[in-house]
Amino acid sequence: MRPDRIAVVDWSAAARPRLGRDSIWLGLAGAGGVTVENLPTRAAAEERLHALVAEALAAGERLLIGADFAFGYPAGFAAGLTGRAGALAVWEWLAARIADGPDNANNRFAVAAEANRAFPGVGPFWFRPAGMDLPDLPLRGNARHGHGLPERRLADQRARGAQPVWKLGTPGAVGSQVLTGLPVLWRLRAAHPGRIAAWPLEPWQDAPVVLAEVFPSLLAPAVAAAERQDPGLPRDAHQVRLLAGALWQLAGAGGLEALLRPDLPEAVLAEEGWILGLGHEAALREAAAAPELTPPRLRNDCFAMPQGVDWVPVDEALARLRAALRPVTGTETLAVAEAAGRILAAPCIARRANPPAPNSAVDGYGFAHAATGAGVQRLPLVPGRAAAGQPFRGAVPPGAALRILTGAILPEGVDTVVLEEDTASDGQMVAFDGPVKPGANTRLAGEDVAEGAAVLPAGHRLRPPDLALLTALGIGQVTVHRPLRVAVLSTGDELLAEAQAEVAPHRIFDANRPMLLSTVAGWGYRPVDLGLAPDDEAEIAARLDRGAAMADVILTSGGASAGDEDHVSRLLRLRGELSSWRIALKPGRPLALAMWRGVPVFGLPGNPVAALVCTLIFARPALSLLAGGSWLEPQGFTVPAAFSKRKKAGRREYLRARLSAEGAAEVFASEGSGRISGLAWATGLVELPDGAAVIEPGTPVRYLPYSGFGI
Ligand code: AMP
Ligand code: MG
């Protein structure tokens, strides 16, 4: 099996929603490396898995989902419980009984007790929370007898550190994860009959989606090393990240097959299941240590448009792009101070609460609220003071007060602070009017952010305020995507690279390249200048080759239509994988989307006005996805028009616009797409909808400022 994507989920049996340590983590390996997600509940995780499966099936891709709980029980259990020997019979039995709420509240202990009743004696399941009255579920393991089942599966005997599946609680227990996880997998499998198979319980070779049991402890040394290197991420996050990455690496090298074919009797595999990678620890660890994941390129046909499609509305074109693209950049770990502008490849988890301890929000006097009341309060002052960074080490007795400054930790005996401006003091006593609200002018520990909270998700681009947040929370390092390298090529026989004195009238200067290079640099990508090429296919091909070697994506301008001199589109059709998208958009002619040696190429129109509009509307969100970020919608707002226009139905229009002093949208006098002066005159675009429109002064229109596009 050569999956297009690998998901590894670290399950949790938590009884309440939870993020951070010991919650549900999902590692996703695919094009461009590995990302990590943190999910607060099993319901959220189930929804995410359904979405991943739906995405894979829709795209015709193969998906491997690894889950870190046992897929089967020791021999004899399935038949004793259900009358059928295969593990899938147990999945079905559990799915019919386990009730697991959107808030993680569930009945797993009662279901385990019911399973125990199907067997003689006491057990096999054991452990329940103290105070839960379930006579068929013993509190201790040694209270079990006579149930007749083995303590461990074959896989659990072989895997170092694996726990028996019967134990439902106490540290390291996995039993509850099996009970809550299998129903989720059963529903996933049932939602796509015949398309999802559970390895090795059933034939799986032809299924596009394969579920497999994994055991992250097989990677223990690699996980320990990663924790030392990046202590900001909980162990579970490192586990799913490394395991997904290692499986991906192995799959790329053709090494996954060996893991998928354990040499064991069919009956054992179908009933007890097996751990993917067990017996292949060395290969897995080696793959986890591989320095850089080699991202498989985008599919060559990723831009293909169905036959017979003529003009594509803008929104449909955007939706197609969104579905076709995914991250193509690897990941690295950086110090937070170095990471501005980078895109997170893993969520950031607070290592420390903010504030870490209760403290004063003002300069004033602190005391115990319980010893004060209404009317004038006169409290003797304890000698000394508490200031930020200079804690008061003693205790403040009830009925006394202490001078306290903003940011100082509340000393023992202080829970309330009165503002200095509301007091009078002679240095011995402080007087103020009561009553004061309990806790007034104080900040609680963790009132801003709790320790362990997921504060920023994968895909988020780090801005200066984010660096403040991460630093405040004790996060020193972040796992981020490598910067996307964007190559820019201009084409056209008429173009000259630079302004020069003696110029023939048939030559013009290359206006697009400086515009596009600075645009992508401003977006946080690494611009790669491919210069300009004449309308000559060999020359253009040589530049594209260089772009494919040096960059992750190529933007070309000029020659993208279907005319005699449109050499870019001809070349891409002959030697690359071209899909010309005829987008119902003005300004903008067809957008040429192609793959060249595995690298996506955006063939923009040559006209600078159209080139910029297509870059802002199409390339911007597309580049963000390629870089590991989220899909970006343009930010706009509705303002009154300061112009008149009649627009026919059929295509969306973008006009060069700026706001008048009154906040109305003025548009550039000429719509001619050769008018570069209008681009610079404007401060944004007015977007007119696909349908017909009659616009008079005062009609509301959508204004998209350049700043909202990040330029
Ligand atoms: P094309 O898309 O190649 O048919 O070009 C359309 C128009 O844009 C023509 O008038 C070109 O001269 C002009 N053009 C193409 N590339 C550039 C460029 N890099 N800078 C300025 N104008 C350009
Ligand atoms: Mg041209």
pLDDT value of residue 426: 95
Residue 710: its pLDDT value, please? Answer: 93
Domain assignment present for residue 316? The answer is: no
Given 430, 463, 481, which residue is the final one in a domain? 481
The structure tokens 């006491």 sit at 122
Do both 457 and 512 map to the same domain?
Answer: no
Q: How confident is the model at residue 32 (pLDDT cuts 50, 70, 90)?
A: low
pLDDT given for residue 515 in this prediction = 97
Query: pLDDT band at residue 360, thresholds of 50, 70 and 90?
Result: very high
Backbone region of residue 341 per phi and psi (left: phi > 0; alpha: psi in -120 to 50; beta: other values):
left
Q: 60-64, 186-190, 461-465: which has the minimum mean pLDDT?
A: 60-64
Which residues, including other chains, have CB under 8 Å from residue 494's CB and lie 6 or more apart?
Answer: 506, 507, 508
CA 241 vs. chain centroid, Å, equals 12
Residues 618 and 514 reside in one and the same domain: yes
Residue ending a domain, choose from 605, 626, 647: 626
Residue 67 is classified by DSSP as E
Give the span between the Cα atoms of 573 and 562, in whole angstroms.
10
Range of weakest confidence among 52-56, 334-338, 476-480, 670-674: 670-674
Distance from C-alpha of 112 to C-alpha of 179, rounded to nearest angstrom: 8
Residue 627 is predicted with a pLDDT of 95
Provide the CATH number for the domain around residue 379.
2.170.190.11
User: What's residue 455's pLDDT?
Assistant: 93
Query: Residue 612, SS3?
Result: helix
The pLDDT of residue 341 is: 94
Query: Is the confidence at residue 563, as pLDDT, over 90?
Result: no
For the Cβ of 559 lying below 6 angstroms from any atom of ligand 1, the answer is: yes
Q: What is the mean pLDDT of residues 567-575?
A: 88
Residue 238 and residue 207 share a domain: yes
Q: What is the pLDDT of residue 631?
A: 94
Which numbered atom of ligand 1 lies nearest the CA of 512?
19
Of the residues 465, 481, 497, the one at which a domain ends: 481
Q: Is residue 608 part of a domain?
A: yes
Residue 90's pLDDT is: 97
pLDDT beyond 60 at 358:
yes
Distance between CA 411 and CA 405 in Å, rounded?
Answer: 12
Q: How far is 555 from 178, CA to CA, in rounded Å? A: 49
Task: Name the residue with higher pLDDT: 6 or 1.
Answer: 6
Q: Which residues pair with 522 in a beta bridge?
A: none
Mean pLDDT, residues 410-436: 96
Average pLDDT over residues 508-515: 95
- For 8-28, the pLDDT digits (tens) are 999 999 988 888 888 899 999
Q: Are 123 and 225 within one domain?
A: no
pLDDT score of 290: 64
Shortest-distance ligand to the CA of residue 565: 2
Q: Is there a single domain that holds both residue 265 and residue 195?
A: yes
pTM of the model: 0.72
Please indicate, yes or no, if residue 293 is contained in any of the structural domains: no
Residue 619 to residue 627: CA distance in whole angstroms: 12
Separation between Cα atoms, residue 563 and residue 553, nearest integer Å: 25
Ligand closest to Cα of 563 equals 1
Residue 605 beta carbon below 6 angstroms from any ligand 1 atom:
yes
Domain that holds residue 544: 485-626
User: What's the mean pLDDT in 453-472?
Assistant: 94
| 106 & 206 share domain | no
Q: What is the domain-level CATH number for residue 343? A: 3.90.105.10
Q: In this structure, what are the phi and psi dihedrals at residue 424, rounded to the nearest 5 degrees?
A: -125, 140
- Listed residue (676, 359, 273) closest to 512, CA to CA: 676
* Angle of CA points 550, 552, 558, to nearest 5°: 85
Greatest Cα-to-Cα distance within the chain, rounded to the nearest angstrom: 100
* CA 560–ligand 2 middle distance (angstroms): 8
Answer left, alpha or beta for residue 9, where phi above 0 means left and psi between -120 and 50 means alpha. Answer: beta
For 125-177, the pLDDT digits (tens) are 999 988 888 889 999 999 999 999 999 999 999 998 899 999 998 777 899 99
**Res. 291: pLDDT tops 60:** no
If one counts every other C-beta atom within 10 angstroms of the C-beta of residue 376, the result is 8
Mapping DSSP onto H, E and C, the string for 437-469 reads CCCCCEECCCCCECCCCEEECCCCECCHHHHHH
Residue 140: how many other CB atoms lie within 10 Å = 8
Q: What would the two tokens of residue 449 be?
A: 């952010």
Q: 300 in a domain, yes or no?
A: no
Structure tokens at 382: 């304890």
Asked whether 608 lines ligand 1 (CB < 6 A), one says yes
**Three-state secondary structure call for residue 93:** helix
More confident residue, 201 or 590: 201
> Which of 236-250, 281-295, 647-661 is least confident?
281-295
What pLDDT shows up at residue 298?
72
Position 696 in a domain: yes
429 and 519 housed in the same domain: no
What's the whole-number mean pLDDT along residues 535-561?
Answer: 93
**Are 381 and 476 members of one domain?**
no
Please tell me whether residues 584 and 538 are part of one structural domain: yes
Residue 558 Ramachandran class (φ > 0 left, ψ -120 to 50 alpha, else beta): left
Query: Residue 299: pLDDT band by 50, 70, 90 thresholds?
Result: confident
Cβ(227) to ligand 1 under 6 A?
A: no
Share of the chain above pLDDT 70, in %: 98
Number of other CB atoms surrounding residue 224 within 10 Å = 12
Q: How far is the CA of 579 from the centre of ligand 1 (A)?
A: 21
Q: How far is the CA of 587 from the centre of ligand 1 (A)?
A: 13
Assess whether 391 and 489 both reside in one domain: no
CA 227 to chain centre: 20
Residue 106 β-bridge partners: 100
Angle at 98 (CA atoms; ends 96, 102), nearest 5 degrees: 120
Question: Using a 6 Å cutoff on CB, does residue 606 contact ligand 1?
Answer: yes
Same-domain pairing of 58 and 202 = yes
pLDDT band at 297 (very low <50, low <70, confident <90, very high): low
Residue 31 pLDDT grade (very low, low, confident, very high; cuts 50, 70, 90): low
Which is nearest to 444 in space by CA: 516, 353, 377?
Answer: 353
β-strand 416-419 against 364-367: which pairing, if any? antiparallel
pLDDT at 629: 94
- Residue of 546, 549, 548 whose CA lies nearest to 533: 546
Do the domain assignments include residue 319? no
How far apart (Å, rounded) are the C-alpha atoms in residues 518 and 526?
Answer: 10
Q: What percent of the chain is modeled with pLDDT above 90? A: 70
Q: Is residue 339 one of the residues assigned to a domain?
A: yes
Q: Which residue has the higher pLDDT, 210 or 351?
A: 210
Q: Are 384 and 392 in contact (CB under 8 A)?
A: yes
Q: Where are the beta strands (DSSP E) in 276-400?
A: 331-335, 348-349, 359-360, 364-367, 375-386
User: Is residue 393 classed as helix, strand or coil in its secondary structure?
Assistant: coil
Helix (H, G, I), strand (E, B), or coil: what is residue 287?
helix
H or E segment at 256?
helix 256-260
Query: Is the CB of 607 inside a 6 Å radius of any atom of ligand 1?
Result: yes
Residue 500, pLDDT score:
78
Contact 24, 159 (CB under 8 A): no
Confirm whether 303 is domain-assigned.
no
CB contact at 8 A, 400 and 381: yes
Provide the pLDDT confidence category of residue 77 given band limits of 50, 70 and 90. Answer: very high
Task: State which of 498, 503, 508 you would mutate to test the pocket of ligand 1, scoring each by most atoms of that ligand within 8 A of its C-beta.
Answer: 508
Q: How confident is the model over 633-682, as pLDDT tens digits? A: 999 999 999 999 999 998 999 999 999 999 999 999 988 878 999 999 99
Q: Which residues of 667-682 are buried (b: 16+ CB within 10 A; e: fewer)?
A: bbeeeebebeebbeeb
Q: Is 510 near ligand 1, meaning CB less than 6 Å away?
A: yes
Q: Rounded to the nearest 5 degrees, what angle is found at the Cα of 390, between the Cα atoms of 387 and 394?
A: 95
Mean pLDDT of the chain: 92
Q: Which atom of ligand 1 is nearest to the CA of 494?
A: 12
Instruction: With a cut of 90, say whether residue 404 has pLDDT above it.
Output: yes
Residue 44 pLDDT > 60: yes
Of all protein residues, the one whose alpha carbon is nearest to atom 3 of ligand 1 is 558
CATH number where 608 lies: 3.40.980.10
More confident residue, 448 or 581: 448
Testing ligand 1's pocket by substitution, the residue of 536, 557, 602 carrying the most ligand atoms inside 8 A of its CB is 557
Structure tokens at 455: 């504060």
DSSP letter (8 states) at residue 362:
S
Torsions phi, psi for 531 (to 5 deg): 70, -155
Confidence of residue 292 (pLDDT cuts 50, 70, 90): low
Q: Is residue 307 over pLDDT 80?
A: no
What tens digit of pLDDT does each residue of 501-510 get?
788 889 999 9
Q: Which residue carries 């780090």 as its tokens? A: 462
Instruction: Indicate if the pLDDT at residue 301 is higher than 80.
Output: no
What is the chain's percent helix, strand, coil content, to nearest 5? 30, 25, 45
Cβ–ligand 1 contact at 557 (below 6 Å): yes
Helix (H, G, I), strand (E, B) or coil at 323: helix
Q: Which residue has the tokens 């509705």?
A: 638
What pLDDT is recorded for position 501?
78
692 pLDDT more than 90: yes
Tell the burial category of 609 from Cβ atoms under 10 Å away from its Cβ (0-12, 13-18, 19+): buried
Give distance in angstroms: CA of 485 to centre of ligand 1. 24
Give the total number of structural domains in the chain. Answer: 6
**Contact predicate 240/218, CB 8 Å:** no
453 and 585 part of one domain: no
Inform me whether the pLDDT recorded for 305 exceeds 80.
no
